[in-house]
Structure 1
């Protein structure tokens, strides 16, 4: 079978063209050519380029004309909302004499009145005693795990927790750090039982097991069985309080729960969870992270989290952007968008699973969408949808989706575990049924093309979109990305 194509070569649309172009080894600049320092840096970058995992810092184009956004984190559409912008400007207008920059370090003289009141309002919205605002959810997770665990405590974490949680755990004072199988209640029970059996201090409630989970997992889109995990913890703890949970809600704020308050509030577990971390760089249309916790935990972070102690406080405009976003949540402005996401995700799964090619695509291993299983039975659905094909075909599926003017992203190691590359799609309140339908049809068009290739009825060994990209790559003297 042929691998070329008579049609003109075509680079992929959007910023991905720069990612491919940047895989070409760069000529060292003259001033750096003989420098050991820069030579070593270039060697490390070239190694990353050779694995097709090189990331380029380029302007996004998912909001360009003709491109449908199934990728960005702006789930509710607040990031581009005129109402959101107006509320932010109105919040600034209520305090015309605000200071643009922060006044100082948080633990010295940086906690000004507006910041303190905003933190209490946010904590109240989520049903928490107190909280602390930080520059990012990454910083928030690192602060929690470097400040809260005490020597002798044990950290028990889900296998798929975020890199920020892992970074914090790595720096933690806890010596024992144990993983349990992702979202497995039975696996959690087994590992927790092993900890209680082997650790006398935990068993006697002199030390604590701190459990790290996420409400919605960023790469798999599945929901933590939080209620079930708490019940297992109670079996061992027996009311002694020596098993406590830290829940990262980065992908649930605005999407699930009453007025978008998140999974913990959806399940009514505010009094059962010690720490909750929220992120504002996605649905809220702002930036920053927040730790919901007791006053004692807040004070632990202020005294033991170096990222807080040695950083300046958030500025007034930074806080105002977050507070104005919460006003929209609190006033119910986002509830329609929240319901819209649920409708569109259900429509996606209905359209996907009712397609005539769906059974054959699964049977042949050309298409796997784990969240499509029993989707009708779940009380709520998530906006993150991982789409799998055979590992060697992942780039081909991505190029076809991109060629059909849908912006998704191919997730590769080290973002996902080895052997688990996938396409990650995100549905937003501003997407339409027609866009979802066309997206599903584009996927099945690719599946049908691959069936023809695999059964020998096609004259080509590589699908149409990938052939065009690879022809362009050949002109540019580029390799990788599944290129034969």
Structure 2
């Protein structure tokens, strides 16, 4: 047994060494005091003293609450608090019902693995998140990818799928996590209606950032901001990004919630979120309703950043993004890493996204703009990029 174990660990070490040799080895980095142009804390809620205090006060009001859920929701983990929070979430996101999951990854895995069945067709945008890809892989449905945001390619695949028996499902993100661009949701719902397909939208990077107000305040997501909530079967909202807490929810028709309770394995077989997490979710949603200024500030800074890029870095290759996720393509792992390291050396938390996480030639800096950034910090970032990009090829 010892010999077998040593053989396996040596194999693992060899694989890691090869990854390191190629410059691809991932390592954990503790957050420091650098200026944040990296995190998904778009509204600054994760660092909000006001939200933190509200959560602490809400914790104190919990009577006879356990520190943990002690089991799955179908066993010992079901509480009146969970039901109350889900009803509040359904109202907030303008849906019939909501079901809380432990994370957005769990929600996407559970939804896509159990909803499309054998004999159904699942059509997914080629750039959906890894969690949606993994969920799709667990489904017994026939799956086809369509080119990113390409309505003609999707139409062709919908036409083919409509010739088959079974349901058709289309899965997209509203705001894509790597490029920051948006799905053409109005056209997508029209196409899905035309071909009798059900649309699934991951709102992870739109939650909190877009909503029913003119500058995204309320934060119900891009679907609600466009008034499309009644034409989308399922929306996934995650709370660990703009809302600064943890967990996720799938919102949609009441029958979808009942179905997921019975068939979504990450829900059935996972210990439920503890009471603390549930009250944190509640407080974050209350806070966003009371704090429209964060959304205003975020969108104001985003406009400032985009204008600076157009004026000072016009020849560089930026993704077509109007969201807080701004991506500068710097082809080549070595080039992208070098530019990021230079920014880090100057006190800015900027990260490179390297292949194979993105395709070779699509390496980039993934920059996130936040409500707590300042115009001075943005000016510093632009200046550092101007200098650094002059030393490293972006062609």
Pairwise mapping of residues 339-378 of structure 1 onto structure 2 (< 5 A)?
Answer: 339-355=296-312, 358-359=313-314, 362=315, 367-371=316-320
Residue 213 of structure 1 aligns to a residue in which SS? Answer: strand
Distance 1:53 1:32 in 2: 29
Q: For residues 310-348 of structure 1, give each alpha carbon's deviation from its aligned partner in whole angstroms, at most 9, with x where no partner exists.
A: 222221011111111111123x31x21111111111111
Pairwise mapping of residues 56-95 of structure 1 onto structure 2 (< 5 A)?
Answer: 56-61=27-32, 64=33, 67-95=34-62
The change in CA–CA distance for 1:445 and 1:41 in structure 2 (over 3 A counts) is: same
Q: Which residue of 2 aligns with 1:21?
A: none
Distance 1:106 1:52 in 2: 43
Q: Which among 290, 309, 317 is matched to residue 249 of structure 2?
A: 290
Q: Which protein is bigger by CA-based radius of gyration?
A: 1
1:98 matched to 2:65: yes
TM-aligned CA deviation for residue 195 of structure 1 = 2.0
Q: Which residue of 2 aligns with 1:436?
A: 378
TM-aligned CA deviation for residue 288 of structure 1 = 1.0
Residue 371 of structure 1 aligns to a residue in which SS? Answer: coil
Q: For residues 373-425 of structure 1, give each alpha carbon's deviation from its aligned partner in whole angstroms, at most 9, with x where no partner exists.
A: xxxxxxxx310000013436222322222222211111012321232110100
The answer to whether the 8 Å contact 2:330/2:362 transfers is no
Q: Which residue of 1 aligns with 2:210?
A: 256
Q: Which among 175, 184, 195 is matched to residue 236 of structure 1?
A: 195
Q: Which residue of 2 aligns with 1:28?
A: none
Q: Which residue of 2 aligns with 1:385?
A: 326
The answer to whether the 8 Å contact 1:146/1:304 transfers is no
Q: Which residue of 1 aligns with 2:232?
A: 273
The change in CA–CA distance for 1:164 and 1:450 in structure 2 (over 3 A counts) is: closer
Distance 1:253 1:177 in 2: 27
TM-score (normalised: structure 1): 0.77
Q: Which residue of 2 aligns with 1:131?
A: 98
1:222 matched to 2:181: yes
Structure 2: which 5+ runs fail to align?
213-217
TM-aligned CA deviation for residue 275 of structure 1 = 0.4
Pairwise mapping of residues 268-347 of structure 1 onto structure 2 (< 5 A)?
Answer: 268-330=227-289, 332-333=290-291, 335-347=292-304
Question: How large is the RMSD of aligned CA atoms in angstroms?
Answer: 2.0
- Count of residue correspondences: 388
TM-aligned CA deviation for residue 111 of structure 1 = 1.6
Distance 2:47 2:303 in 1: 24
Residue 271 of structure 1 aligns to a residue in which SS? Answer: helix
Distance 2:376 2:150 in 1: 36
Q: Which residue of 1 aligns with 2:215?
A: none
Q: Which residue of 1 aligns with 2:147?
A: 181
TM-aligned CA deviation for residue 34 of structure 1 = 7.7
Any runs of at least 4 consecutive aligned residues in structure 1 with deviations exceeding 6 A, and if so which? Answer: 31-34
The change in CA–CA distance for 1:34 and 1:88 in structure 2 (over 3 A counts) is: closer
Q: Which residue of 1 aligns with 2:201?
A: 247
Q: Which among 100, 125, 128 is matched to residue 161 of structure 1?
A: 128
Q: For residues 150-193 of structure 1, give each alpha carbon's deviation from its aligned partner in whole angstroms, at most 9, with x where no partner exists.
A: 2211000000000000000000121x100011111222212212
1:47 matched to 2:18: yes
Pairwise mapping of residues 115-154 of structure 1 onto structure 2 (< 5 A)?
Answer: 115-154=82-121
Q: Which residue of 2 aligns with 1:204?
A: none
Residue 210 of structure 1 aligns to a residue in which SS? Answer: strand
Residue 155 of structure 1 aligns to a residue in which SS? Answer: strand
The answer to whether the 8 Å contact 1:32/1:38 transfers is no
